[in-house]
Structure formats: structure tokens, C-alpha cells
Structure 1
Amino acid sequence: MRDDTNTGGDRAVSAAPVLQDSSWDELVEVFEHLDPPEGWRAEIIDGRIVMSPPPAPKHNLIADSVQRSIYPALPRDIVLFQTAGVSAPPFPGQYVPDLIAFPRDATEGESGVIPGEAALLAVEITSKGYADTGRTTKLHAYARAAIPLYLLIDRFADRWPTVTLYSDPAEDVYRAAHAVPFGKPLVLPEPFDVTIETADFPR
């Protein structure tokens, strides 16, 4: 039996800082000239460029399940992308959620980065050894960017695998959170109005 805890996104501690202690402009210049291997993800987190390998199958199966749940009810003017870059001002950061929903017209810029204030939903699936990034760093960054909904799918939560929907951002915190264990449904509110079924999420 394959143990996928040591591959891809479940080994995200392998994400390596490429450049540190540089100005934002320098970071962006280096970032824009990166040529990561196919499937690798590059982000700017806490003033560093961080690269992580392709996610493992269980990670991708969860992303696929969430995407299939959302698509049938998605309005035509809203798109759902995998691994699109999103900015999170006012602090330097360019993050790549596992899934991000935003209005179609937000893709009209040349940079390929979605402004955080345009996003409607960010979804992160934790990786073993790297889960605190989704639980803390990205939680605060997405709240600062005023992304109204943040869905954190935490396969490695302390007690049991958990799905948490954060909402009502203010400054760098979400003032509301609703959590369910894997196996229980979770409702995404407007503009989605769909139920995420978590019973088939791999653990």
C-alpha cells in the first residue's frame, strides 16, 4: 500500500525558501522569472519565495470533490480556478490557494494575479508538516485581503480531520467560523449556496 504522506503536497515541509531578506520589488522580480518544475507551486509567504512539490493523490481527490460540489451551482460570472495566484495586501504576499473563486472580469489584468479584494472564496487543503501555514499564515492573510469566505480542509487537525468555514473578515481575523469533522456536510453560503459533502474525503 502506498504511503502518500511523503510525497507532493503532503510533504510540504520540503517547500524551500529561495530568497530571503529582500525588498518586495526584488522578490517579485525573482518570482516572475522562476521556472519551477512542472506541477510545483511557488508562493511569496512572509517575505520569502517558497516552492512546494505537486500534491499527493489524496490532496487532489479532496480538491476535485470540492470543485465538483461547487460547479453545478456556480453563476456564469464567477470562475473557480485551481492554483491561481492571489495578492494579500497590505503586507507582501502572493499566495496560491488550492481553489479560488472570483468574478470572471477579475482575470482581465496582465499580471495573472487575482487581487485579494476581488476573491469570493479561498480553499486550502493542509499538508502534513506544513499545516500551520493554512491554519495561521494564510488564515490571517486572507482575512487582511478581505476574502469573504475561507474554507480550510485540515486532514491533520489534532483530534480528527476537520473542515472549517471562516467568514466575516475584519483586519487580519475572521470573526466567524463553523467547523465539521470529515463525514458531515458543510454549507457554503451565497453566492454559492451549495453543500460540500465531506463523506468521501480521503483521510
Structure 2
Amino acid sequence: MEARAGHQPGTGGPPWDYLLDAWRELDVPEGWHAEIEAERIRLVPPSHAHHAAIAAEVQRCLYARLPDELGSYRTLSVHAAPLGKLYVPDVVVMPSELIAAADPDTLDPMDASDALLVVEITSKGNAREDRTKKYRAYARAGVPMYLLIDRFDTRGAMVTLFTEPSEHGTYKHSDAVPFGKPLALPAPFDVTLPTDGFPV
């Protein structure tokens, strides 16, 4: 479900601040969340139970070795303001002090460039966006690690860790494993993610 924010006079589309203000004012149905992409505010429906189970397993694994100064968060909005994009990843790892310092009276997204790891788990309706638009946005924002858990990859369910982001919107390195094989996450996590329990 998409809603285009009203265009502002004399512009090719609504400016970022206008979109962000509209996003803050949305009354989103429980379980849904809103994202900003391509000058539109898009409502994303609640995820499937398998989707939620995978996110919980990833968090469980991360917390086993997560440094005290970092936190793992669900439904945390992050923005790449220069790109005019705002997403709600399935899991975000970010310094805890930045979360604690957030203004409790405003609904503001966190800066994607502060994230150490972003995790997206594909659904049937958003797999392409996770593989392309979000991949490019996180790379351009400088997110050091992007973990894509693709339940609908044409090769079969796959988990890919992208590292070494480029300002051109690509990651220079990737490690991919099929569901069932473990995947090593480097420092500051230094943990092996088991995927054999991931439901498809």
C-alpha cells in the first residue's frame, strides 16, 4: 500500500523534510510500519510467523557475543536522508548510547550511517526491494554489514552477508550460504550464525 505525499510548488517532488513530517503524523495500523521510498510513503503489512521466527533467531545469536555498548533492535526506523529513504529493517545493530540519547518526545528515525549491521528478511511481496533498493541504500549510507536472508531466492533459500560498502551503492564483498549451512559474522560480532533452524 502506497501513499504519495503532496508535491510542493516549484519542486519535482516532495522534499525530504515534508515527507518525514508526513511520516511522523501517520496513524499506522497495529503491526504495520511505514517506509519512505521514491518520494512515497509505503505501508508494510505485518510479517509472516516464519519471518518473525528468523528475526528472533538472528537476535538470539547476536546477543550471545554482542559487546555491551551495542544493542540489537527490531522495528527501529533508520533513514538515509541524502537519498530520501527511510526503512524499518527486521534487525538493526547500533550503539546503545545513540538509542538512549534519542528524544523521547519525537518520533524520529535513527541515521542509517550509525548502524553496524542491518538485517532484512525477504517476504514474497518485498524480496526484490530487499535485493536491490535497500541493498543500494544501505551501501551508500555506509552500513558496514548488510545481512540479507532471502527465503525466496531462485537458487533456494539463501543467507548473504554483504560487507565493504561503496559510495556507489554496492558492497565489494559477499559471503552466501544456503539455509542449513552456518555463516560467520566478523568483528565486532565474531559469531557463527546457524541457519539450519530457519523456517522457509
TM-score norm. by structure 2 comes to 0.91
Structure 2 CA distance, aligned partners of 1:124 and 1:71?
A: 18
Structure 2 CA distance, aligned partners of 1:132 and 1:104?
A: 31
Alignment equivalent of 2:66, drawn from 66, 74, 77: 74
Relative contact order (alpha carbons < 8 A, sep ≥ 6): 1 or 2 greater? 1
Asked if 1 retains the 8 angstrom alpha-carbon contact of 2:24 and 2:108, the reply is no
Report what 1:116 is aligned to: 112
Question: What SS does the corresponding residue of 1:179 show, helix, strand or coil?
Answer: strand
Tell me how far 1:84 sits from its aligned partner.
Answer: 0.3
Q: Which runs of 5+ in 2 are unaligned?
A: 6-12
Q: Which runs of 5+ in 1 are unaligned?
A: 1-15
Structure 2 CA distance, aligned partners of 1:175 and 1:184?
A: 22
Identity of aligned residues (%): 46
Asked if 2 retains the 8 angstrom alpha-carbon contact of 1:89 and 1:144, the reply is no
Asked if 1 retains the 8 angstrom alpha-carbon contact of 2:16 and 2:81, the reply is no
Structure 1 CA distance, aligned partners of 2:31 and 2:180?
A: 29
RMSD after superposition: 1.1
Structure 2 CA distance, aligned partners of 1:66 and 1:44?
A: 25
Tell me how far 1:152 sits from its aligned partner.
Answer: 0.1
Query: Which deviates further from its counterpart, 100-109 or 142-151?
Result: 100-109
Asked if 2 retains the 8 angstrom alpha-carbon contact of 1:90 and 1:144, the reply is no
Q: Establish whether residue 19 from structure 1 lines up as the match of residue 4 from structure 2.
A: yes
Report what 1:6 is aligned to: none
Q: Establish whether residue 42 from structure 1 lines up as the match of residue 34 from structure 2.
A: yes
TM-score norm. by structure 1 comes to 0.89
Question: What SS does the corresponding residue of 1:73 show, helix, strand or coil?
Answer: coil
Q: Establish whether residue 62 from structure 1 lines up as the match of residue 54 from structure 2.
A: yes
Superposed counterparts of 1:174-189, under 5 Å: 174-189=171-186
Report what 1:151 is aligned to: 147
